[in-house]
Chains A and B, each alone.
Chain A
Amino acid sequence: MYHRFDAIVVGAGGAGLMAALQLAQTPGISTAVISKLYPSRSHTGAAQGGIGAALGNLEEDHPEWHTFDTVKGGDYLVDQTAADVMCHEAVESVYELEHYGLPFSRTPDGKIAQRRFGGHTRNFGEAPVRRSCFAADRTGHMILQTLYQQCIKHEVNFYSEFQLLDLVFNDGVCCGIVALNIKDGEIHTFHAKAVLFATGGFGRAWKITSNALSNTGDGVAIAYRHGIPLEDMELYQFHPTGVYKLGILLTEGARGEGGILRNSEGERFTERYAPTLLDLAPRDMVSRFIYQEVREGRGINGGDFVHLDLTHLGAEVVEKKLPDLADFVRTYLGLDPVRELIPIQPTAHYAMGGIPTDIDGRVITGEHNTPLPGFYAAGECACVSVHGANRLGTNSLVDIVVFGRRAGRHMARYVQETGFTQLPQKPDLYAREQVGQLLARETGESAARIRSALQEEMMDKVSVVRSEEKLRAAQRTVRQLKEQYRHVAMQDRQTWYNSELHETMEVGYLLDLSESIIAGALAREESRGGHYREDYPTRDDVNFLRHTLVYDTPDGLQIRYKPVDLSKFEPKERKY
């Protein structure tokens, strides 16, 4: 089936809905949002602790301080102009969300409440500052609901449960997408002047993850298969406080409210590593502290986890400010967080890298940042790069709101000034072949087994601490799995609501992305932010203060580099 819209947004999380809302509010533009889930199921809804903005509602704060923290938190791999834009526009974006009706928690005088979060400081690193605006510990849920509500108000067209299959270019200009209607298996071509990918992350490449089962990096992988390089893929964040074994996120807001990490001896071990910020040091560091404690035998019962202690906060704080956390701990661990210690371990959480874009969401390629006409990306699938080598807590929500908004506004201008580019002959040919092959193949490898082997290997060898030896082994494994995937076969070969079909394609995306992550991690022979190499344990600004670009070419993967924008703050050693 053929559809034509001025603008297509793929993905209905915070970035996609924010962009769609900008487009929908511009008269005369037709917009459609394509999502493999119903919009309210998107993973933005799982974000808990808050959205950072220097409102200064409780104490002095400034966007410049937020920019500095973002740059330092990212271990100086952040593009500083982009970070500055984000931290300044965070303030008006949060007010805009409030005007849309977002039910923020409030101060006694009725303003938006704010709390402390990891790496957010006053006056360039002096002490923690209250910058995270929150709605209890369901801030992402409220952002997602509020934006979805506004999209309903502005009558945005949704194609829910449509899975992205391909991106269409004609002569270097993006002119649409191909998607599968999951319900009946029909393949649809959406012709457009501009396409935005807001397709989210790919935490499901790892065994222990906070990410939804749907976070399989579809958009990133499809862009990559079209020859678009991926930026800084090796920089992946492990959040320190995942529920032991399950990986479910327990918000950093718990430590923002005063929660403490303790080892098997009951010691507050962050005192030894980060004497100023303690438990509120950035996530990459806290995850490594936990790894170190476990390695030195101070994990709980000698195991690979430590405790999050909220018992001194009192029932009032836990129930009122962290109600979802309390619910998770009770449901999944059978523990009472008011009285008992919570077993936690680092969990694969967030991709700093992704599809390279400029500050208007335009996808850019190559060492000279050449825009690809008509193609945009925003949110976790994109790399602006505002998170550098490690994202600060709350900045993912800032990113989706600010850059979703900027991308939507730029697209609105672009589609008003631009005509439709003709679709190429048979734009859906590749997608039809891919789906047709999967539905036809009767015997072969199991996608579930390949995925499980991939997740084990990525967790074991490409997580918090890496080395050349481990990465080479992982590279061999992923290549073998990719070979097996060429012969993947499904049990379900119906076209009607075939969920095995979309799961199987998702495994293919995870394999490609894992290969790019490993390639980037091998090339970056230093330790910076979320990328720690025990064979190169220090940061090397001479050789690696630059962005990695991984290309998938017919001759294999190629690595290139591009410079980092250092226009505001000089790189310094990162201490807290």
Chain B
Amino acid sequence: MLIQCKVRRFNPTVDKKPYFSTYQVEAEPTDRVLDMLNTIKWELDGTLTYRRSCAHGVCGSDAMRINGRNRLACKVLVRDIGNKMTIEPMMGFTVLRDLVVDMEPFFEKYKAVKPYLINDNPAPVTERLQSPEELEAYDDTTKCILCAACTTACPPFWSNPDFVGPAALVNAHRFIFDSRDKAGAERADVISSREGVWRCRTVFNCTDACPRGIQVTNAMEEVKRKLLYDRA
């Protein structure tokens, strides 16, 4: 099928302001949107710039706005979008070039929630035991691939870029509900700070945007409840 694809372009070292390029490109209905972008780059316009790596939805490189919705370009098929497409970078981060945004602030927020197991007790010789039920409590949030689709779909984040955002909170959830983690207040203080989980207004955009199907809003609600109950 013939696709009319509009892509938002910007190179801050050359362009005064962003503009759109429109490409007519032939694609199979079962092609990934990423395949179509590759066709443009490889056959029509080598200057088109975007990130990509695994091409099957596990590395998190190619989150972008496709017809207004955050998606991974490699995890959505052309037939599911239709023959008119507008592709733009994720909102809320500085555009480095075309569809590539500056991810440094995103990873800084991820690091801020101490996204690692904290347990100073000496480890046993073999594994620490954890029941399947204990694993179930945080299994969903271990799927996060740090693509930033959730955070950049979040209206409270758009209006306040200091908000740590859903992705960081998903990763906080992953450890808070891990029976092996003993961080307690050390992590809770970050999460409950001014720019922490209370900025969430349960818009559910994050849940809709997650390419891994993580129940993002639900995870943040669980974190809020946990903070309240632990304080009570």
Q: Are B103 and A106 in contact (CB under 8 A)?
A: no
Asked if A101 and B180 make an inter-chain contact with CB atoms under 8 angstroms apart, the answer reads yes
- Answer yes or no: B146 CB below 8 A from chain A CBs: yes
How long is the Cα–Cα vector from A499 to B100 in the complex, in angstroms?
Answer: 10
> Shortest distance in angstroms between A237's beta carbon and chain B's nearest beta carbon?
18
| Chain B residue, CB-CB nearest to A47 | B58
Among B58, B115, B130, B178, contact of A106 (Cβ-Cβ < 8 Å)? B130
B127 touches A104 (CB 8 A): yes
How far apart are A7's CB and chain B's nearest CB, in angstroms?
21
Whether the pair B97, A103 counts as a contact (CB closer than 8 A) is no
- Tell me the complex Cα distance, A45–B146, Å: 12
Closest residue to A42 on the B side, CB-wise?
B59
| Contact, CB under 8 Å: B46 / A490 | yes
Contact of A497 among B96, B111, B178 (CB under 8 A): B96
Shortest distance between the CB of A79 and any CB in chain B (Å): 29
Chain A contacts with B in 123-178, Cβ cutoff 8 A: 135-136, 138, 141-142, 145, 149-150, 152-153
Q: Name the 9 nearest CB pairs between A and B, nearest first.
A: A101-B117, A491-B46, A110-B129, A448-B42, A149-B116, A497-B97, A492-B47, A99-B123, A153-B116
Q: Is B190 an interface residue (CB 8 A)?
A: no
Interface contact A109-B180, CB-CB below 8 Å: no
Contact A138 B143 (CB under 8 A): yes
Q: Which residues of A contact B41 (CB under 8 A)?
A: 448, 499-500
- Given the known interface contacts A46-B59, A110-B130, the answer about A103 and B53 at a Cβ–Cβ threshold of 8 Å is no
A107 to B133, CA, bound (A): 11
User: Which residues from 2 to 57 on chain A have a C-beta closer than 8 Å to any C-beta of chain B?
Assistant: 37-38, 40-43, 45-46, 55
Residues of A within 8 A of B (CB): 37-38, 40-43, 45-46, 55, 95, 98-101, 103-112, 135-136, 138, 141-142, 145, 149-150, 152-153, 183, 212-214, 246, 248, 324, 327-328, 331-332, 334, 446, 448-449, 452, 490-492, 494, 496-500
Known: A111-B129, A149-B117, A491-B47. 12 other contacts (CB 8 A): A38-B146, A46-B58, A95-B123, A101-B175, A106-B131, A111-B127, A138-B58, A145-B144, A448-B43, A492-B49, A496-B14, A497-B100
For the complex, what is the distance from the CA of A446 to the CA of B134, rounded to whole Å?
54
Contacts A46-B58, A500-B46 hold; do A95 and B126 have CB atoms under 8 A apart? yes
Given the contacts A46-B54, A212-B55, A332-B56, A40 and B145 also touching, CB distance less than 8 Å: yes
Residue of B nearest to A43 (CB): B54
**Are A212 and B97 interface neighbours, CB within 8 A?**
no
Residues of A close to B61: CB separation below 8 A:
37-38, 41
A149–B46 touching, CB < 8 Å: no
- Residues of chain B within 8 A (CB-CB) of A99 are 123, 127-128
Complex: chain A residue closest to B143, CB-CB:
A138
Whether B43 and A98, one on each chain, are in contact in the complex, defined by CB atoms closer than 8 angstroms, is no
Residues of B whose CB lies within 8 Å of any CB of A are: 11-14, 30, 32, 41-43, 45-47, 49-61, 75, 77, 96-97, 100, 103, 107, 111, 114-117, 123, 125-132, 134-135, 138-139, 142-146, 175, 178, 180-181, 213
* Given A110-B129, A448-B42, CB of A142 within 8 Å of CB of B135: no
Task: Give Cα A548 to B172, complex, Å.
Answer: 49
Interface centre among B12, B41, B175, B178 (most CB of A within 10 A): B41
Closest chain B CB from A57 CB (angstroms): 9
Contact residues in A for B57 (Cβ distance below 8 Å) = 327-328, 331
Query: Can you list 15 residue pairs at the A/B interface with Cβ under 8 Å?
Result: A38-B61, A45-B58, A95-B125, A110-B130, A142-B142, A149-B116, A212-B54, A490-B46, A496-B13, A497-B96, A497-B100, A499-B50, A499-B51, A499-B100, A500-B41
